Structure formats: structure tokens, C-alpha cells
Chain A
Amino acid sequence: MFNDLDPILHSQLRLSIVSILITVEEANFSFIKDTTKAAAGNISIQINKLQEAGYINVEKTFKNNYPNTAISITNKGREAFEEYVKSLQKYIYPQK
């Protein structure tokens, strides 16, 4: 039904992750987990898919001796998100 919609973004959790990243410069894994309230394993899978699509950057470092996964949106991801929102609006308001 929604053929024109980007299949990478047209998934609830992936869309939530990208919506968070569009608002911030960079977010770590636990912030995304707190905000989406999704399971860590599920988030990891969706982050990998978004990374493979080139929509996000994932940087694994250590912060105070603890592992820290910093995630940020790429320009490609930002453009895909904007395009996705435009497509959604076309579906909702087809006459515009």
C-alpha cells in the first residue's frame, strides 16, 4: 500500500531512533533505550540496519572505563528522513 515509503524508515523502532537522532547532535545507546523503551537486543538489530543503509554513524568508545556507543545521524539519513516525511504528507494530504 505504501510503496513509495522508504522501507528502512517505515519501521516503528527504526523511525523512533531516527526521530531521536534528528533532534540531537549525538545520542548514546542508553538514551535511545530510555526514550524508545524497547529491548536492547531489538535496538541493536535496528541500529545495525540503519548503519548498513548509511543513515547513521555508530562510534564505540569507552567513557570512564565503561563502553559507550555514540550514535549520530548522517547527511544521507537526514535527507532520507526529510524525504520520508514528505512522502507521508503526500499520502495524508494527496491534493497538496
Chain B
Amino acid sequence: MEERNFTPEESLLLISKTIEETKQKFQENGHIIVLWGSLTFSVFFLQYFFELVGLHKKFDIIWTCILFPLGAIYTFFYTRRKIKKNNIPKTVLGMTIEAMGWVVGMNLMILGFIFGDHLGNAIAPIFIIFLAMFLIVIGITIKFKPITIGGILMNLIGFGTFLVHPKYYGFSLMLGAVVGLILPGILLNKAKKKEYV
């Protein structure tokens, strides 16, 4: 970088360019969002499947207990490895999203495992609404519209779930996972790949 006299316009341009370049280095590529969408879809699809073959009560908690914590462990190590490999510094934005992810995730786990009996079937729409709120915030903070729109649609699916019979709640969760996580995650991944071409 050469040192020379530069104008206020050039200074402002340099500031915004540097901030943008720094932000882009640690932006998520959609992989984790697609992973959580697939996990949510798989968990509730498997619950349906086992319900169909009459093993519902025995297996639903096992899938939730195994797949979601496995996803959390994978997310933790994947993020750590990415930070180390790409020499990514911690940012206020990144830390906010990470903290929110853990808070939302832990609250959902507690609601599901401890207060599941109190909430009954309502746990499904509550799960969707919590996740949707998290996605809307992520979409707005990283300025990626498909995630914001996916989150809003998921939020509506969450409220709509209260209006249908509980036997369809599993479908709502699967639809929410596709609309709010899998599709926006794939679009984010494509957008990131385009940036590097």
C-alpha cells in the first residue's frame, strides 16, 4: 500500500472498502444453516416415520437427543477450525450471532426436555417461532434478504401451526426447516461462491 496524499472522498471510500473486506472474511457461507435445516428436517421426518411404524414414543426423544447435540458439537468444532484456518478475528457482530445461537439453542433444549410436558404439542410452534426470530436477526445483521424472508415465512408458519391439528405439527416443522433454513442456506452458499469467482 503506497502512502500519498488523498482526498476526504478517497478516505471515506477506503474506510468503507476496508470495513466491507474485513466483514466478508468472516461471513458464514451457509453450510451451517443448511446443516441445521437438514437436521431439523431429518429429526421430524424420522419421528413421523417411527410414529407410522408404531415406535414413536420409544424413538422420538432419542433422535432429538442424538442429532441435535451432534449438530451442536459439529458446529462448535467447524467454527473453531474455520477461525483458526482462516485467521479470523473475533467481531462484535460474530460474537452477537454466536451468543444468540447458543441462547436460543439452550432455551429450546430446556423447553423441549424439561418443560415439554407442560407445553405439550405447543412445543412445535414455539420451536419454529424461536428459530424464526433468530433467523430474522441473522438475515438483517448480515444483510442477506433470503434469510430474512425465510425467517419471516418461518415465523408465519409458526403462528399458522397453532391453527392446524397437532398431528400436522411435524409437517410444519419440516416445512419451516426447508423454507427458513435449507433454501436460504443454499442461496447464501451460492452467493458466497459467486463472490469468490
Partner-B contacts on A (CB < 8 A): 2, 5, 10-13, 15-16, 19-20, 22-28, 30-31, 34-38, 42, 84-85, 87-89, 91-92
Number of interface residues of B (CB under 8 A): 24
Which residues of B sit under 8 angstroms from A88, Cβ to Cβ? Answer: 8, 11-12
Which residues of B sit under 8 angstroms from A36, Cβ to Cβ? Answer: 1, 18
Q: Quick one: closest A residue to B92, CB to CB?
A: A25
Pick from B6, B22, B25 the residue with the most CB of A within 10 Å.
B22
B83 to chain A: closest CB distance in Å?
11
- Decide if A15 touches B87 in the complex (CB within 8 Å): no
Which residues of A sit under 8 angstroms from B23, Cβ to Cβ? Answer: 23
- Decide if A85 touches B90 in the complex (CB within 8 Å): no
Which residues of B sit under 8 angstroms from A24, Cβ to Cβ? Answer: 22, 89-92
Interface assignment of B15: CB less than 8 Å from any CB of chain A: yes
A6 to chain B: closest CB distance in Å?
11
Separation of A92 and B90 alpha carbons in the complex (Å): 33
- Decide if B19 touches A22 in the complex (CB within 8 Å): yes
Interface assignment of B14: CB less than 8 Å from any CB of chain A: yes
A1 to chain B: closest CB distance in Å?
9
- Decide if B1 touches A12 in the complex (CB within 8 Å): yes
**B71-122 CB contacts (< 8 Å) to partner A:** 87-92, 95
Q: Quick one: closest A residue to B91, CB to CB?
A: A24
Interface assignment of B57: CB less than 8 Å from any CB of chain A: no
- Decide if B3 touches A12 in the complex (CB within 8 Å): yes
B93 to chain A: closest CB distance in Å?
8
Pick from A13, A19, A30 the residue with the most CB of B within 10 Å.
A19
Interface assignment of B9: CB less than 8 Å from any CB of chain A: yes
Separation of A49 and B14 alpha carbons in the complex (Å): 19
- Decide if B14 touches A38 in the complex (CB within 8 Å): no
